[in-house]
Structures are given as structure tokens and as C-alpha cells.
């Protein structure tokens, strides 16, 4: 039955599998950002928390976009099961270090999908994934920018914390302009 269904789509099973894996990764990224936002919020960083709440929402959109694409091209989109994500962070800065690491991991995964698409001549999916290539460039840049601010501003002093919270929030505001 599975083989008969597959005859009705040009989507190769190996591409369907890695797209579903990417759905899971994006859904996980959304959950991670949500937990980071919660940590920021409860530790007095309400403005930068808003930025990461918005990031959580963006990652959910990234997840849904791939999820719907799989169905559109005749595959089976599988609702991902997301495991535990970190809820606690040692410092204000460590939240943004984790965010950058997460974005780099997503970029690497997307690059692997594009490489696989080329290998199996799936140009439609490659074309679809180019949106993510561009998006990741932006997301990594923003994550690096947040960390750069920690190099410029003392995150240990109360004034520094206040300024950092405001400045990090501006990264999100600039993104939505």
C-alpha cells in the first residue's frame, strides 16, 4: 500500500524522512525559545523575553511551513514528539549562547537537506528549502548580535542588565520593521 501511494508522488522517501526530522527540529527550537523566554521573564528581563516569545512563534511557523510542504508534495507529515528542553539557565548571557548554538545546529541541518536534495535531484524541495537558507542567515546574525551586546555591556551590573534587556529587545523590533 505504501509503495502504491508513493507512485503518486515524486517525493523520495529519504527526503520525506529528513523533512520530517526538520519539522521536529523546528518544533523543538520553538519549545526551547519558549523555555528561554520564560526564564528571562521570571528573572526580570521582560523586554528580551518578549523577543524570545516572538522567536518561539517564528519557529513554530518554520515547523508548520515544512509540515504543510510534505503534505503538498504527496508525503506524510508526522506530528513531531518533542522531548524535554532546558528550563534553567545559569546566567542571562548563557540563554543567548544556547540560542546561537541552536541556530547553528539548525543551519547545519538545513544545509544537509539541501545537499541531499541535490544528490537525489529533488529540485523542488531544494527550491523550497532556499527560503530556510536565507532565514537562517538572518537568525544566526541576530543571535550573534545578541551575544556581541554582552561583550559591550556589563551583564553583571544592575544598570548593564537593564540596558542589555532593552538592547536585545531592539533586535526583534528591527526584524519586524
* H-helix segments, the chain: 2-7, 13-42, 46-72, 92-119, 123-152, 158-175
- Please name the residue that has the C-alpha cell 529587545: 169
Exactly one of 28, 103, 122, 165 binds ligand FEO (CB under 6 A); that residue is 103
Report the residue number, 113 or 161, with the smaller CB distance to ligand FEO. 113
106 counts as binding ligand FEO under rule CB under 6 A: yes
In angstroms, the CA 50 to CA 40 distance is 9
Q: Which of 16, 26, 28, 50 binds ligand FEO (CB under 6 A)?
A: 26
Q: Cα–Cα distance between 146 and 92 in angstroms, integer?
A: 11
Among 73, 78, 79, 142, residue whose Cα is nearest residue 107 = 142
- The nearer residue to ligand FEO, 28 or 122, going by C-beta atoms, is 28
28 touches ligand FEO (CB under 6 A): no
Judge whether 138 and 126 are in contact, CB under 8 Å. Answer: no
Closest contact distance (angstroms) between CB of 137 and ligand FEO is 11
| 62 touches ligand FEO (CB under 6 A) | yes
Residue 139 near ligand FEO by CB under 6 A: yes
Pairwise CA distance, residues 121 & 123, whole Å: 6
Does position 27 interact with ligand FEO (CB under 6 A)? The reply is no
Binding site for ligand FEO (CB under 6 A): 26, 29, 59, 62, 103, 106, 139
Amino acid at each position: 500500500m505504501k509503495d502504491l501511494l508513493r507512485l503518486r508522488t515524486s517525493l523520495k522517501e529519504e527526503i520525506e524522512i529528513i523533512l520530517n526530522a526538520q519539522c521536529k527540529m523546528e518544533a523543538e527550537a520553538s519549545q526551547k525559545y519558549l523555555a528561554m523566554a520564560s526564564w528571562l521573564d521570571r528573572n526580570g528581563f521582560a523586554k528580551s523575553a518578549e523577543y524570545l516569545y516572538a522567536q518561539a512563534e517564528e519557529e513554530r511557523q518554520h515547523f508548520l511551513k515544512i509540515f504543510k510542504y510534505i503534505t503538498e508534495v504527496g508525503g506524510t507529515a508526522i506530528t513531531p514528539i518533542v522531548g524535554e528542553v532546558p528550563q534553567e539557565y545559569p546566567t542571562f548571557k548563557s540563554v543567548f549562547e544556547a540560542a546561537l548554538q541552536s541556530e547553528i545546529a539548525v543551519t547545519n541541518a538545513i544545509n544537509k537537506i539541501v545537499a541531499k536534495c541535490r544528490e537525489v535531484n529533488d529540485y523542488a524541495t531544494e527550491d523550497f528549502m532556499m527560503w530556510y537558507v536565507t532565514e537562517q542567515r538572518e537568525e544566526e546574525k541576530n543571535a550573534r548580535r545578541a551575544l556581541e551586546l554582552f561583550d559591550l555591556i556589563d551583564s553583571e551590573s544592575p544598570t548593564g542588565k537593564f540596558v542589555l534587556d532593552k538592547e536585545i529587545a531592539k533586535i526583534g523590533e528591527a526584524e519586524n520593521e
